Amino acid sequence: MSESLRYIQAVNAALAWALDSRSDTVYFGEDVALPGGPFGATKGLHKRFGSDRIFDTPISETGFLGMALGAAMTGLRPIAEIMYADFSFVAMDQIVNQIATIRYSSAGRWKAPLVIRMQQGYSPGACAQHSHSVEAYFAHTPGLRVALPSTPDDAYQMLRTAVTSDDPVVVAEARMLYPTRGPVRADAPVEPIGGARVVRDGRDATVVAWSRMVPAALAAADQLAAEGFETEVIDLRWLNPLDFDTVGASVSRTGRLVVAHEANLTGGFGAEIAARATSECFADLKAPVARVAAPDVPMPAAPALQKAVVPEAEHVAEAVRATVRR
């Protein structure tokens, strides 16, 4: 049984599920309690669960992520919200040096079952300090799980999976997806962590995308179908654990690969996918792997300049055409 929810409503439903079904879960961050969250993710939750379970913190990401680690090490499953993914950079020591390494550095005596929830990417008028796509920073760090849901249903299912994980999980949502609506399986069992998904079958090329670029890739596939190109689209969903088997199996069928993400090109996670495809699928490739990404510039605030740098469906379609015609 499913119900139609907007993406941000699905996030709210997953948080309500966590607080309702797990007495060890607490939620905190900036403006998440009485205000209901900067984008409404926690609307109504403070009234329902009270100040012991959901509360506001001072503006100190380093401080409250350290608190999350301590709480996780001593028996709770905290969910900490970073208002903008860009603000996680001030707490990188807590995330990379402390949270990610605690299981390794304690020889397994301690673990950090916590979730760091954030939203990222561009939106009209948002400036360079509020538009980063940060997934590659965290996917680079051993010890962190990284989730990027692209649909309301995955926003619900993957956040629940993150809450039940015994490893720390970074859940990065695209705020441009918040208004999107789709069916959500509220009564589905909690899914195991990981797993990419083929969301459109095709024979001529494979497009691997995640987060906001998944609907862009699907829109590109619709354009290309009208031109006679059948494009397979894979929603990667989790960067860690990475399901490259699904990518490799698709490339073995199509022989061509385009990787699409909103983050800047250089050092983006698309480079990792391209490198693995070159290493593991070289004999199947009929053309070099192509990447679609934002150019290596800070995100401008002016809408006209944003249009010049934000990757969209037409950029994915152009990359597929060029790859197929080589």
Which residue of the set 130, 132, 261, 315 is catalytic?
Answer: 130
Q: Which of 326, 244, 319, 236 is nearest to 278 (CA)?
A: 244
Beta bridge partners of 258: 207, 290
Q: Which of 91, 152, 73 is nearest to 81 (CA)?
A: 91
- Those residues with Cβ within 8 angstroms of residue 206's Cβ, 6 or more apart along the chain or in another chain: 231, 232, 233, 234, 247, 250, 251, 253, 254, 256, 257, 258
Helix or strand run (H / E) with residue 4: strand 3-6
Computed over its alpha carbons, how large is the radius of gyration of the chain?
20
3-class DSSP assignment, residue 29: strand
- Name all contacts of 277-284 with Cβ < 8 Å and 24+ positions apart: 277/247, 277/248, 277/251, 280/244, 280/248, 281/248, 281/251, 281/252, 281/257, 284/251, 284/252, 284/255
Q: Is the peptide bond before 241 cis (omega within 30 degrees of 0)?
A: yes
What sign does the dihedral 83-86-91-96 (CA atoms) show? positive
- Residue 315 among the catalytic residues: no
Residue type, 310: V
What percent helix, strand, coil does the chain show, rounded to 5? 40, 20, 40
169 within 8 A of 21, measured Cβ to Cβ:
no
Structure tokens at 287: 């053309």
Distance in angstroms (rounded) separating the CA atoms of residues 64 and 78: 10
Q: Return the active site residues.
A: 130
